[in-house]
Amino acid sequence: MQQISKKLDLDRIHTKLLNLGLLLNVFVPAILFSLGLFLRSQGVGTKPVKGLNMLLWILLAISAAEILTIYLFKKKILFTRKVLQSPKENISIERIFLTSGLIQYSLSLSPTIYGFIYFLLGGTKERFAIFIAITLLCFVLFKPKLEEFKSIKNSLSDPSNSY
């Protein structure tokens, strides 16, 4: 385990994950919002679909469930000792961090995708912005923290530590 922790460059991994998060949870929502406004100017979604308010509440409930899913994924799956000390030789700790970050950021992006669909069906841009705000909130709440990585690294180098 000490070889793994010596080779692990936490700052580089942390920077990669933050850049990935900015791409998926800031730039992609901005692009989707711009695309939605462009499509609306072309006449897409100008006549709202029936039952759009019910769809709004369903999509907001699904988005709230995804926030809970991200929280449980991060706390119960990613930071358990079984995952981090698995005997798989081909999977590095860096790969586990990057994969889990991609999963978290993808789950965080999904409310924006729901908002985009809602907007194309005739929803308002203010309500679309609510979905984007949920994505940004998930990014802020669940982005990786360097202190978490350091505690995991310390735990790997000293098996008697518990985090």
Highest mean predicted confidence (pLDDT) among 64-78, 85-99, 144-158: 64-78
Distance CA 130, CA 112 (A): 9
pLDDT above 80 for 162: no
Question: Roughly how many angstroms between the first and final C-alpha of the chain, as a whole number?
Answer: 16
Q: What would you measure as the largest C-alpha separation in the chain, in angstroms?
A: 63
pLDDT, position 22: 97
Predicted TM-score (pTM) of the model is 0.85
pLDDT above 90: percentage of residues in the chain: 63
Question: Lowest mean pLDDT: which of 70-74, 82-86, 144-148?
Answer: 82-86
Which of the pair, 47 or 5, is modelled with greater confidence? 47
pLDDT above 60 for 96: yes
Q: Sign of dihedral through CA atoms 30, 31, 34, 35?
A: negative
Q: What SS3 state is found at 93?
A: helix
Nearest to 93 by CA among 102, 103, 85, 101: 85
Domain ranges of the chain: 2-155
